């Protein structure tokens, strides 16, 4: 089995790369351990809590015990299915803030400033605001990735945005356009009532060209001879074989599996590799380091009117929603229910938003367990730019064994300060007049919890991952000892090997990471093909004029 390019991982970035290489007439083999994305639990947006909790679709990773969270081990879902995590995620589409990418460039990722990445966002998007306003000049119209908005007809969804305005925050018609900061509608990778994953957007049409072959197998390591990547060793149906690449190997296996594969291939911290009996091919101490994520809390309020989605939270209700979606692709099941967003600043002196909200018109846990109180609503809230850094390391040299994932959550004093601000700012929003017709008691944390110590205890016990791991194969200058790839995604010190997925992010971006991961694949494809990057667009984002002196 041989092709010009071998890609490991049919996820958000890998699918985009396969599509662009196929479009250019190149031969590509994509290696994916997971199977088909067929079935209503993945395709129905309203069923999003199921696939990420299913062994069939998820790698089943767990973090190490996290000291900052009282020793809890957190689930770390990563998609093991066609489409990767874009097939099991919450479908929320966020590009990231313009300043995130300008920061990347300052950190050594030359050519990845906002002006450089904006044209790639436009190239990948097919944006349909459905008549709900938005910022068309900033958006793409003809790309493979369909972006849409929910109907937003639940009164709680509207109340959240109104409450934000009443609390003195700006509103924004399109947080993916000129102005991220403020309260407004969410974008989602949903098309005609179905999940629109990277598999559907990119890999399915790429396979149809005949230039791309999909192989199901577990990638064991990159085969490297004389400092050059020659192929990928995989296990398939109990047999070990090598898939050869005449030009390049591209790892798009996630921020957990890409560093794991590099280390298994002899690329990583020399001492760590020797500990596991792995011959060192390239001493890159940054491999697996710089692990970042978003943590969030669910602030829950009881509702005094039966307006929440709880009315469907029974056997009959779920059957109705499922049947309606199956036959019409409409109704509650056709939305991920994250229809109102907010990005705000936690305090004066912060230039651009550092807190994100997902509003949900039901009080429920991510694993789909409803709050005992019945009708309610909640805000998922968390800081965007924690200074805590963790690492992905090998547990053993056995490719079938899960790596060690240690996020080192809440290890900085600023993390605690930021989370307390999140709770108090959310309470203030929920206390606004817009929620008056619906507001019952505070379910979680509960009105009795007020002091810093009480809130810290709640955070320690209840903070959950937003499932946005990144940063473990950081992009930077060639002479940066902790950089793993250069700004063209080439692994430093090895010929013919690239990494392109969320692992190369120098710093985590604002919001959900699926959008930036697909953009990374789009931009990497041009580097792989040796093309000049798309022309820069010097569109300036809106920054609050009073940011130095005011929080809102």
Known binding residues for FAD? 81, 89-92
Catalytic annotation present for 468: yes
Three-class secondary structure of residue 491 per DSSP: strand
How far is residue 86 from each of residues 71, 315, 349, 496, measured CA to CA in Å?
29, 28, 35, 27
Among the listed residues 33, 358, 468, 527, the single catalytic one is: 468
Q: How far apart are CA 500 and CA 503, in angstroms?
A: 7
Do 262 and 499 contact (CB within 8 A), yes or no?
yes
498, 251 contact by CB (below 8 A):
yes
Give buried/exposed letters for 462-471 (b at 16+ CB in 10 A, else e): ebbbbbbbbb
The answer to whether 29 and 7 have CB atoms below 8 angstroms apart is yes
Radius of gyration for the chain, computed over Cα atoms and rounded to the nearest angstrom = 22
Report the distance separating Cα 403 and Cα 101, nearest Å.
29
- The span from the CA of 330 to the CA of 49, in Å, is 18
Say if strands 340-344 and 355-360 run parallel, antiparallel, or are unpaired. antiparallel
Written as one string, the DSSP assignment of 339-362 is -EEEEE-SSTT-SS--EEEEEESS
Query: Beta strands 376-383 and 239-251: pairing type?
Result: unpaired
Residue 199 near residue 37 (C-beta atoms within 8 A): yes
Tokens (6 digits) for 479: 């002479």
Residues 455/459/461/465 CA torsion (nearest 10 deg) = 170
Whether 551 and 347 have beta carbons less than 8 Å apart is answered as yes
Rounded CA gap, 260 and 255, in Å?
A: 9
Read off the tokens for 366: 């991510």
Catalytic residue positions, numbered: 468
């Amino acid at each position: 089995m041989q092709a010009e390019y071998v890609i490991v991982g049919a996820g958000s970035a890998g699918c985009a790369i396969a599509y662009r290489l196929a479009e250019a007439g190149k031969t590509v083999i994509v290696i994916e351990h997971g199977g088909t994305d067929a079935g209503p639990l993945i395709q129905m947006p309203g069923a999003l809590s199921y696939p990420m909790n299913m062994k069939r679709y998820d790698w089943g990773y767990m973090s190490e015990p996290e000291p900052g969270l009282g020793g809890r081990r957190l689930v770390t879902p990563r998609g093991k299915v066609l489409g990767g995590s874009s097939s099991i995620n919450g479908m929320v589409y966020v590009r990231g803030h313009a300043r995130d990418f300008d920061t990347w460039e300052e950190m050594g990722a030359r050519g990845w400033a906002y002006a450089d990445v904006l044209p790639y966002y436009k190239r990948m998007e097919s944006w349909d605001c459905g008549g709900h306003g938005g910022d068309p000049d900033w958006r793409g119209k003809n790309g493979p990735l369909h972006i849409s908005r929910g109907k937003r007809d639940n009164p709680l969804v509207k109340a959240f945005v109104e409450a934000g305005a009443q609390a003195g925050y700006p509103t924004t018609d399109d947080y993916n356009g000129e102005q991220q900061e403020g309260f407004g509608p969410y974008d989602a990778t949903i098309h005609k009532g179905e999940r629109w994953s990277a598999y559907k957007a990119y890999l399915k049409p790429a396979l149809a060209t005949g230039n791309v072959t999909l192989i199901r197998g577990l990638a064991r390591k990159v085969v490297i001879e004389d400092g050059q990547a020659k192929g990928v060793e995989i296990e398939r149906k109990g047999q070990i074989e090598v898939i050869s690449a005449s030009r390049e190997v591209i790892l798009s296996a996630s921020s957990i599996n890409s560093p794991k594969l590099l280390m298994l291939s002899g690329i990583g911290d020399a001492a760590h590799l020797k500990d596991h009996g792995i011959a060192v091919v390239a001493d890159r101490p940054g491999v697996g380091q710089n692990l970042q994520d978003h943590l969030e809390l669910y602030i829950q309020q009881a509702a005094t009117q039966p307006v929440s989605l709880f009315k469907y939270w029974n056997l009959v209700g779920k059957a109705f929603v499922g049947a309606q979606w199956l036959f019409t692709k409409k109704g509650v099941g056709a939305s991920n229910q994250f229809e109102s967003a907010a990005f705000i600043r936690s305090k004066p002196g912060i230039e651009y938003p550092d807190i994100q909200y997902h509003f949900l018109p039901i009080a429920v846990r991510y694993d789909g367990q409803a709050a005992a109180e019945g009708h309610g609503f909640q805000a998922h809230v968390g800081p965007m730019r924690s200074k805590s850094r963790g690492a992905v390391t090998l547990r053993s040299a056995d490719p079938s064994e899960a790596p060690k994932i240690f996020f080192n959550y809440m290890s900085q004093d600023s993390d605690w300060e930021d989370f307390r601000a999140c709770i108090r700012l959310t309470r203030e929003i929920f206390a606004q007049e817009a929620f008056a017709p619906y507001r019952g008691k505070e379910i979680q944390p509960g009105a009795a919890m007020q002091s810093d110590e009480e809130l810290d205890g709640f955070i320690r016990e209840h903070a959950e991952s937003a499932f946005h791991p990144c940063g473990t194969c950081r992009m930077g200058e060639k002479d940066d000892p902790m950089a793993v790839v250069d700004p063209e995604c080439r692994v430093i010190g090895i010929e013919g090997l690239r990494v392109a997925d969320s692992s190369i992010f120098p710093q985590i971006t604002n919001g959900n990471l699926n959008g930036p991961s697909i953009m990374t694949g789009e931009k990497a494809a041009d580097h792989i093909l040796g093309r000049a990057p798309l022309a820069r667009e010097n569109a300036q984002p809106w920054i609050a004029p009073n940011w130095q002196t005011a929080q809102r």
